[in-house]
Amino acid sequence: MPESVSRAAALPLAAAALAHIGPAATWLPVVRRRLSPRLAGAGHPCHVALTFDDGPDPVSTPRFLDTLDGLGVRATFFVLGDAVVRHPGVVRETARRGHEVAVHGWSHGRPWLPTPVRDVRALRRAMEAVQDVTGVTPRWYRPPYGILTSGRWAAARAAGLRPVLWTAWGRDWTASATPASVRATVEADLGGGGTVLLHDTDRTAAPGCWHATLGALPDLVADWRAAGWTVGPLADHGTAAEVHATAPRVLGRSGAVPRRPLEHGRSRHG
């Protein structure tokens, strides 16, 4: 086959691949902050949205619910549909305690191959699982790994879900995570109006890493309140267009909260 013909045949495949994976560039913080603050989770500059991914987990999630109760904080939990049907009681209790339950997908796969029909069916299935257990129609969708392909965008639109990613995370899925490292990593990128990504389970992470997140929560919440920010779920985050005009455009170190000295030598298990 002539080289020119083979190249011509490859062009449609390359274009299809780019169309599929191109939107996933929003995974890069600088891209989503500049192109879509709402997708990044930028909200009211006096509020921080606290979110957790990958649950529910019958062992760890109840520990987070108890800690959040003690702190007087409500959050948004992005749950996986296949875990919802296995542990409906945990999800029901999450909603009963006043937290917002959102959709993280049906499972935690990587979407490298285009599967638009499967994407729609899986996301709809996850949304219906949440609705059946909580009695509330979920509003938000955060894709696994934060990878928004064109198929996932279309699936979210079909399901009536609004995609939202994050402005700061704690790198709390690693085996080396500690309460101090989670706190420092979150606050390095967090400003008022930010959305924080943490995890309430180690399902797709290093075994036991959730202890570091749990141990970091009291100090994180105390720091945010000391900075004059309220803490709550995305439902209270004020993501209307007029709010974004006053939200920080870049949530970098210059906008990080003033923090008390981090304790050294604390156990990863809090």
What's the pLDDT at 37? 73
Q: What is the Cα Rg of the chain in Å?
A: 19
Neighbours of 205 (CB within 10 A): 18
What's the pLDDT at 175? 97
Q: State the Cα–Cα distance between residues 266 and 270, nearest whole angstrom.
A: 7
236 is a domain residue: yes
Closest CA to 69 of 109, 103, 32, 97: 97
253 is a domain residue: no
What's the pLDDT at 253? 38
270 is a domain residue: no
By residue count, the chain amounts to: 270
Residue 114's domain is classified under what CATH number?
Answer: 3.20.20.370
85 is a domain residue: yes
3 is a domain residue: no
What's the pLDDT at 68? 98
Catalytic site residue 108? no
Q: State the Cα–Cα distance between residues 88 and 208, nearest whole angstrom.
A: 22
What's the pLDDT at 141? 96
Orientation of helix 210-226 relative to helix 61-71, angle to 10°: 20
140 is a domain residue: yes
Contact 200, 254 (CB under 8 A): no
Closest CA to 200 of 72, 70, 75, 73: 75
**H-run or E-run covering 261:** none
Catalytic site residue 199? yes
Q: State the Cα–Cα distance between residues 86 and 246, nearest whole angstrom.
A: 42
pTM for the full model?
Answer: 0.79
What's the pLDDT at 39? 86
Q: Which one of 199, 211, 237, 244 is the catalytic residue?
A: 199
Going from the first residue of the chain to its last (270 residues), give the mean pLDDT of each consecutive group of 10, the final group possibly shorter.
Answer: 47 39 50 67 95 98 98 98 98 98 88 71 96 97 89 90 94 97 96 96 96 98 97 88 34 38 34
Contact 164, 139 (CB under 8 A): no
What's the pLDDT at 150? 84
Say how many domains are in the chain.
Answer: 1
264 is a domain residue: no
Instruction: Scan for tokens 């267009």, then name that residue.
Output: 241
Q: Which one of 47, 53, 104, 211 is the catalytic residue?
A: 53
